[in-house]
Amino acid sequence: MPTAYLLLGSNLGDRVPTLRRAVEALVTTAGTLVAASGLYETAAWGLTDQPAFLNQAISLRTSLLPEELLNACQAVEQQAGRERLIRWGARTLDVDILLYDDVVVQSARLTLPHPRLPERRFALAPLAEIAADMVHPELNQTVAELLAACPDELAVKPYAAVGP
């Protein structure tokens, strides 16, 4: 079965439980959890006048094809109350497919690998925790190499959740 690498993010509501419930929902609907990074806190990227994000990378073994996985990710976002009002705006939950093994997809709904992965430290840092040696299928660089060369200067800090 293929392995998909996802990035979860939240900057509205109770972020830690939202991310935990999202992982549980993805395991229920999309595949078997292989690994999960710790949580990272980052200032918003793109549209900066909004609360800080918590991000987490996970890897799943999945029998879903890439577009089916996208459907599952979007269903989990909707369950968490996601509203798509403004591009890069604040959201209860965002689930992005970063990589899907070494598959390259260019469709109207989905581009794999995620086209902005190399320029986003908030995605690369948690991904490097669980898949540092994974090779980007188009750039032929590992996730660790992409992180080392990332031009994004936003601080990405490990987040220590308090309480259950």
Q: Choosing from 91, 120, 121, 152, which is the catalytic residue?
A: 91
Q: Is 94 a catalytic residue?
A: yes
Q: Is 20 a catalytic residue?
A: no
Residues sharing a CB contact under 8 Å with residue 36, sequence separation 6 or more, in sequence order = 23, 56, 57, 58, 59, 130
Q: Is 49 a catalytic residue?
A: no
Give the residue from 81, 58, 85, 86 showing the smallest Cα distance to 12. Answer: 81
Q: Two tokens at 108? A: 């109207």
Q: Choosing from 21, 61, 87, 96, which is the catalytic residue?
A: 96
Contact 57, 127 (CB under 8 A): yes
Q: Choosing from 15, 82, 120, 121, which is the catalytic residue?
A: 82
Q: Is 133 a catalytic residue?
A: no
Active-site residues, by number, are 82, 91, 94, 96
